[in-house]
Structure 1
Amino acid sequence: MGDFSLCRSHVERLLQPAGIQVNGPEPWDIKVHDRRFYRRILTDGHLGAGESYMEGWWDCRALDEFIYRVLRAGVDKKVSGFRGFLEHSLGRLMNRQAPRRAWTVGRTHYDTGNDLFQAMLDSRMMYSCGYWKDADTLEQAQEQKLRLVFNKLDLKPGMQVLDIGCGFGGAAKFAAEEYGVEVTAVTISGEQHRLARERCRTRDVQIELMDYRDIRKTFDRIYSIGMFEHVGYRNYRTYFDTLNRCLKKDGVTLLHTIGSNRPSTSGDPWSEKYIFPNSMLPAASQITRAYEGRFMLEDWHVFSLDYARTLMAWHHNFETAWPQLRHHYSDTFRRMWNYYLLSFAGAFRARNIQLWQVLLSKKGMNSRKGVPR
């Protein structure tokens, strides 16, 4: 009993600066159902928080707000688990995104189930941050995002365009239909490849199941939306070398990625284990070092809070669809997926992680009309 009381008191003191109480009345307060939760938090940090939530040891009515408050108050910096140290060490010792390992995230996450993603996402199945300026719905925000990307790239009819990490093909199809370009799109997810080919039945879009490092053709424009998070810091230079090789001399490329406030060599332990294996978020300094000598910076656009709103929209759709999805997914999966969506929403709202669009050219763009706000 004494050990339990000490652990609980320690956790309560940690949460106090964030305005969070154990079994308190506010939506962001936590309800603890299993007293093992306290030791789990102190020994395993965020991995322990996520796993114990999945196991039903605690609940929170506004989980996104709980995470926001924890991060804004810096509570996460006062708790670190051995797993986090291990992930950091492994990230420094080995290339976890080497070609032979690159397909892991496709099998683990993106192949989870097309019924899940169809229920959660917009009609184009865009699985990345929407752009909510002048948008009221998820559908509008995703179309605004696509127009933002393609207007920045200054697409012209007949251009040859490469989509790296094409998801379910929504961006490639939109570019071909709305801008009259020919798109080659690549993915490392078997399920995304299958569904994208079904949804892009047009001669102007080719969907390929392949690693970006194996691309050999050249293109007028290249974009990547929500894929760079899986590249890994050891491969950032290789990524931009690939772009440099595949982009024509007057070409332009756009990178749409989640970013970190500081350089890292590993991902978050809970996300690594359950959501995005072998993934990590790049820091701005890691990106700039990787493209130096290859590309010229044209624009760096930040709209991180838009991702918090996108994630909340996905969460709403997921919960609305759960009565149908529950026949294919367990209650533990539901808690895991809710923790994923809501914890990321809280992290973006706290500006603990960022959303960037980075526009690069080989020779310099002569017009700024492709860089709207």
Structure 2
Amino acid sequence: MAKSFYADFIKQLLSKAGIEINGSQPWDMSIHNDAFYERVFREGSIGLGETYMEGIWDCEQLDECMYRIISTNLADYIKWDLKKALLLIKARIFNLQSVSRSKDVAHKHYDIGNVLYEAMLDSRMIYSCAYWENASTLDKAQEAKLDLICRKLKLQPGESIVDIGCGWGGFARFAAEKYQVKVLGITISEEQAKKATSICAGLPVEIRVQDYRTLEGEFDKVVSIGMFEHVGYKNYQDYMDTVQRILKKDGLFLLHCIGGNRSAITSDPWIDKYIFPNGMIPSIFQIDQATQGKFIVEDWHNIGLHYDRTLMEWLRRFKDAWPQLKDKYDQRFYNMWVYYLSCSAASFRAKSNNVWQIVFSQPNSRIAYQSVR
């Protein structure tokens, strides 16, 4: 095909979202190399992300540009994305989140250096959506989110709780200090476990490098914050079976996760390749299928718009810290990270992604649950 065809097609496509090539609006794209058009035409999401990483295009207000692309569903107009098709086939055939594959995301994303996350996140290093209802700073918004979760779980002094996907131990420390509970935190990341162990030193908190499928024992409460996105649709039943097995009869389980409006079995191809390998965002239908007969839904709360503000704050902090980080990471990484945070913020702004906090109880429990906000 002639180069002019690719350029004309992509320009017309972007115009549907109100984006002009080399235009004057802050969300307009500046194209520095005409290779952009064929790359995006042939490679879809991968091409768009990689050309940004390579400096082939940029944008003054990238988050707003991506919001316009996402909210007008421009990806639906490119149906021949071969890499996306291959990813779907692979997800159908293989269990991409098996025990042997489960640590791929730890090596690719969580073990790339605590210094990055220390600079970008709040003082507790909470890497999930904050709760900005009555907060004006990231630290206060993350503290409000942790407290909201503890109140939804009705935590009482002396209770035991397991935190599936404990990250750097921020929730474990908060719950142990503020609610006087005993916490078991598990993660598949060696780097996270080391940091979490240090953060929680001196408290009734145990941190383990452990797959959720091997959990044993019985707990008053179970929480999972931002980890279910790594479980995969072929493992949802096993995940919920595990939680049901370890949760006491009158216990509560809170699942905090990103949720999609449509059922899918893969993530965006660029995100899968560069950020969260083998990740997958569940739908209401998929969660319902995995929990039928196992749990009672006590509460379902969508705080998705709070993630837009959270991600934009992470982006600001990352950019501010770049002079101290650039000796460890190169310019391609900087572009990749800016693109990742901007696209993610845009997806929540467009409400194509949500953040759900779901409270479950065991069948036949004696809990008379009152919702908390």
Distance in 1 (alpha carbons) for counterparts of 2:305 and 2:192: 27
C-alpha contact (below 8 Å) 2:108/2:277 kept by paired residues = yes
SS across alignment from 1:154? coil
Distance in 1 (alpha carbons) for counterparts of 2:366 and 2:78: 46
**Normalised TM-score (structure 2):** 0.98
One-letter identity of the residue aligned with 2:136: D
Check 1:261–1:198 CA distance in 2 against 1; reply closer, same or farther (3 A cut): same
* Deviation by residue 1:230-269 (Cα, 9 ceiling, x = unmatched): 0000000000000011111111100000011111111110
C-alpha contact (below 8 Å) 1:298/1:365 kept by paired residues = no
1:337-356 matches, cutoff 5 A: 337-356=337-356
The alignment covers a number of residue pairs equal to 371
* Deviation by residue 1:145-201 (Cα, 9 ceiling, x = unmatched): 001111000000000100000000000000000000000000000100011111110
SS across alignment from 1:322? helix
One-letter identity of the residue aligned with 2:37: Y
* Per-residue deviation, 1:203: 4.0
1:123-162 matches, cutoff 5 A: 123-162=123-162
* Per-residue deviation, 1:366: 3.5
Q: Which residue of 1 aligns with 2:310?
A: 310
Q: Which residue of 1 aligns with 2:52?
A: 53
Q: Which residue of 1 aligns with 2:24?
A: 25
1:71 pairs with 2:70? yes
One-letter identity of the residue aligned with 2:146: L
1:366 pairs with 2:367? yes
**Normalised TM-score (structure 1):** 0.98
* Per-residue deviation, 1:368: 3.8
C-alpha contact (below 8 Å) 1:309/1:345 kept by paired residues = yes
1:75-114 matches, cutoff 5 A: 75-80=74-79, 81-114=81-114
Q: Give RMSD over aligned pairs.
A: 1.0
* Deviation by residue 1:280-303 (Cα, 9 ceiling, x = unmatched): 100110001101111000011001
* Deviation by residue 1:124-154 (Cα, 9 ceiling, x = unmatched): 0000000110011111110010011110000
Q: Which residue of 2 aligns with 1:6?
A: 5
Distance in 1 (alpha carbons) for counterparts of 2:61 and 2:237: 40
* Per-residue deviation, 1:365: 6.1
Give aligned-pair identity as a percent.
Answer: 47
1:191-210 matches, cutoff 5 A: 191-210=191-210
C-alpha contact (below 8 Å) 1:312/1:345 kept by paired residues = yes
C-alpha contact (below 8 Å) 1:105/1:276 kept by paired residues = yes
SS across alignment from 1:18? coil
Unaligned residue ranges in structure 1 (runs of 5+)? none
C-alpha contact (below 8 Å) 2:297/2:359 kept by paired residues = yes
One-letter identity of the residue aligned with 2:245: R
Q: Which residue of 2 aligns with 1:42?
A: 41
One-letter identity of the residue aligned with 1:251: G
Distance in 1 (alpha carbons) for counterparts of 2:14 and 2:145: 37
* Per-residue deviation, 1:29: 0.3
Check 1:299–1:228 CA distance in 2 against 1; reply closer, same or farther (3 A cut): same
C-alpha contact (below 8 Å) 1:107/1:190 kept by paired residues = no
1:211-360 matches, cutoff 5 A: 211-360=211-360
Check 1:357–1:223 CA distance in 2 against 1; reply closer, same or farther (3 A cut): same
Unaligned residue ranges in structure 2 (runs of 5+)? none
One-letter identity of the residue aligned with 1:31: S
